[in-house]
Amino acid sequence: MTFYRQYRPQKIEELDLVSARNAISAYIGKDFPQSVLFSGPRGTGKTSAARIVAKGLLCEKNNGVFSEPCNECETCRSITDGNFVDVVEIDAASHRGIDDIRSLRSEIMLSPLSAKRKIYIIDEVHMLTTEAANALLKTLEEPPAHVVFLLATTDPQKLPATVLSRLIKIPFHKATAQEVEGRIKKVAEKEGIEIDAGAISLIYSLSGGGFRDAVRILEEVSSGSKKITEEVVRQRSSLASDDLPTSLVDSLISSDASAAFEILNKIEVASVDIKNVISSCIGILHKKLVNGGGGRVLFVLDCFLSGQSTMWYAPYPAATLASIIAHAVSEVGSPTASKKIDGAESTVRPTTPIQKEEERVDTKTASVKVETETVVEAKVVESNIESKVVEDIPSVSSEDRVVDDALWQQVVNGIKGKNPTVEALLKASRPITVKKDSVEIGVFYEFHKDRLEHAPNKQALVDVICEAFGTSPKVSFVLDSSGRPPIAEFTLTSSDSPAIIKAAKDIFAN
């Protein structure tokens, strides 16, 4: 049995996520609601919590009052083993149709076989088809008194509002470092593993804030060894072959574009949580700044902070990171087109607490060090050349977009691993038209467009598209002046000098 299954929490008090634990504890000794939705990211303990609640409701020692389960009575034990007749677990991802819900509805009307109540745990409930969700809604509107629904989802916004309104919501958020580290310590202790603080915190950063991944990594790195140090985690974890955020920051500070994009690929292959990588990078840069890092550190930090502030509505974290990288390496060391960064000219907008904190640091550090550093900001957007191009091309609004998402996904998947440059460029782009006979890709910068049009890159892309579509569509790139990412709103540098544009164009050149 894996560590994760073996050491799943079995009691309410053992739930690692403090907020969820408190929300569930609040019902101890009270009426537990009949229809509850556990929503939150994967691996945060929603299913474990649902099973614990089922036991708390049915435990023979609780006499029908919701409380901590004893985990010893026959009912508790068979729920733990997953074979108690009156606790039904359904994976909506594989039983998503109307027939499944219809048979569920007729079954629900029957009295429980063994316990006083019947509990339905429906996982990934957002995967139900619309008809099935509507059928479920009818059941939720008037559930028989003996039934309790415990629904779980990673995507609550995909549920119809009518269904949502019937449910008591218990949100599960991404675990904090303390919560995940607490779980790692508990499991290590039970396994007799000696683990140092550095190893624990590295496992946490690799886990992306999920308990399941954290415990899985612990299991992987501890096989055959009861003493785990940070170095051991680094060596043994496939994810931890090197410290990705640190390498990324280093490559950005030294403006090494190809290294940075290579790391981006590694990050994606390792399925590390990208939002976490961005937070880690900000942390690392913050530390460097406090320790006297120069204007280049400040510039890269600016790129991350601006990028992070768009994460709230950016549907593709990988695209955000690609865009941050593209901006961070777009600094060009041309003396004719340079701009000194100092506290007064800082482009950091104080929209988050961390930004405010950085600004304070920035002012302090700037006076010591930054004068000698020069930074050019890649406001290619408003250059003469681009303005001309933009005039020629009608601006693209979201209504003009005709994108077959499935086809686009095939393009994105097809280029993966084949050509890192094109892959990275695509991530920082936006499909405008994706049809069998025509593909139009919107990019936000002239240099970006130029790199995509560069013959070998364009050929690689065209090959992938032709193979995926089975047709030979016309492939073109346009400067997308609508919905430009906020990161582009850096202040303009001294001039629209063609030198800047040329230099920016060279960024992606090998």
- For Zn ion, give the closer residue by CB, 71 or 482: 71
Rounded Cα–Cα distance for residues 231 and 206 (Å): 14
Counted residue by residue, the chain has a size of 510
Instruction: Work out which of 18, 28, 70, 499 binds Zn ion, going by CB under 5 A.
Output: 70
Bridge partners of 228?
Answer: 195
- For Zn ion, give the closer residue by CB, 119 or 239: 119
Stretch that binds Zn ion, among 76-84, 146-154, 158-166, 385-393 (CB under 5 A): 76-84
- For Zn ion, give the closer residue by CB, 85 or 269: 85
The three-state (H, E, C) secondary structure of 226-237, written as one string: CEECHHHHHHHC
Backbone phi, psi, residue 340, to 5°: -80, 135
Do the Cβ atoms of 161 and 187 come closer than 8 Å?
Answer: no
How many beta carbons lie within 10 A of that of residue 286, not counting itself?
19
Annotate each residue in 295-334 with x if it binds Zn ion (CB under 5 A) or - if it does not, as one string: ----------------------------------------
Stretch that binds Zn ion, among 61-69, 393-401, 479-487, 500-508 (CB under 5 A): 61-69
Rounded Cα–Cα distance for residues 398 and 407 (Å): 18
H or E segment and range at residue 213:
helix 211-221
Stretch that binds Zn ion, among 51-59, 162-170, 214-222, 260-268 (CB under 5 A): 51-59
Stretch that binds Zn ion, among 65-73, 100-108, 319-327, 433-441 (CB under 5 A): 65-73
Stretch that binds Zn ion, among 24-32, 73-81, 220-228, 412-420 (CB under 5 A): 73-81
- For Zn ion, give the closer residue by CB, 69 or 294: 69
- For Zn ion, give the closer residue by CB, 59 or 475: 59
438 — alpha (psi -120 to 50), left (phi > 0) or beta? Answer: beta
Backbone phi, psi, residue 149, to 5°: -105, 125
Least gap, CB of 61 to Zn ion (angstroms): 5
- For Zn ion, give the closer residue by CB, 69 or 293: 69
User: In the range 165-224, which residues lie near Zn ion by CB under 5 A?
Assistant: none
Least gap, CB of 73 to Zn ion (angstroms): 3
Do the Cβ atoms of 188 and 221 come closer than 8 Å?
Answer: no
Least gap, CB of 62 to Zn ion (angstroms): 7
Least gap, CB of 78 to Zn ion (angstroms): 10
Backbone phi, psi, residue 162, to 5°: -65, -35
How many beta carbons lie within 10 A of that of residue 111, not counting itself?
11
Instruction: Work out which of 12, 59, 180, 337 binds Zn ion, going by CB under 5 A.
Output: 59
The first and second tokens of residue 455, run together, are: 């013959």
Least gap, CB of 468 to Zn ion (angstroms): 55
- For Zn ion, give the closer residue by CB, 70 or 164: 70
Stretch that binds Zn ion, among 38-46, 56-64, 324-332, 352-360 (CB under 5 A): 56-64
- For Zn ion, give the closer residue by CB, 150 or 260: 150
Stretch that binds Zn ion, among 26-34, 72-80, 194-202, 445-453 (CB under 5 A): 72-80
- For Zn ion, give the closer residue by CB, 70 or 137: 70
SS3 9: coil
- For Zn ion, give the closer residue by CB, 76 or 381: 76
User: In the range 249-268, which residues lie near Zn ion by CB under 5 A?
Assistant: none
- For Zn ion, give the closer residue by CB, 73 or 361: 73
Do the Cβ atoms of 246 and 263 come closer than 8 Å?
Answer: no
Q: How many residues bind Zn ion (CB under 5 A)?
A: 5
Angle between helix axes 257-269 and 244-253 (nearest 10 degrees) is 160
Bridge partners of 166?
Answer: none
Least gap, CB of 117 to Zn ion (angstroms): 14
Buried b (16+ CB within 10 A) or exposed e, 343-382: beebebeeeeebbeebbebbeebbeeebeebbbbbbbbbe
Stretch that binds Zn ion, among 68-76, 168-176, 351-359, 463-471 (CB under 5 A): 68-76
The first and second tokens of residue 37, run together, are: 């939705």
Helix, strand, coil proportions of the chain in percent (round to 5)? 55, 10, 35
The first and second tokens of residue 317, run together, are: 């974290």
Distance, first Cα to last Cα, the chain: 49
The first and second tokens of residue 382, run together, are: 């408003």
- For Zn ion, give the closer residue by CB, 57 or 326: 57
Least gap, CB of 82 to Zn ion (angstroms): 15
76 binds Zn ion (CB under 5 A): yes
Least gap, CB of 66 to Zn ion (angstroms): 12
Do the Cβ atoms of 150 and 38 come closer than 8 Å?
Answer: yes
Least gap, CB of 292 to Zn ion (angstroms): 60
Stretch that binds Zn ion, among 58-66, 93-101, 264-272, 321-329 (CB under 5 A): 58-66
What one-letter code names the amino acid at 62? N
Contacts to Zn ion by CB under 5 A: 59, 69-70, 73, 76
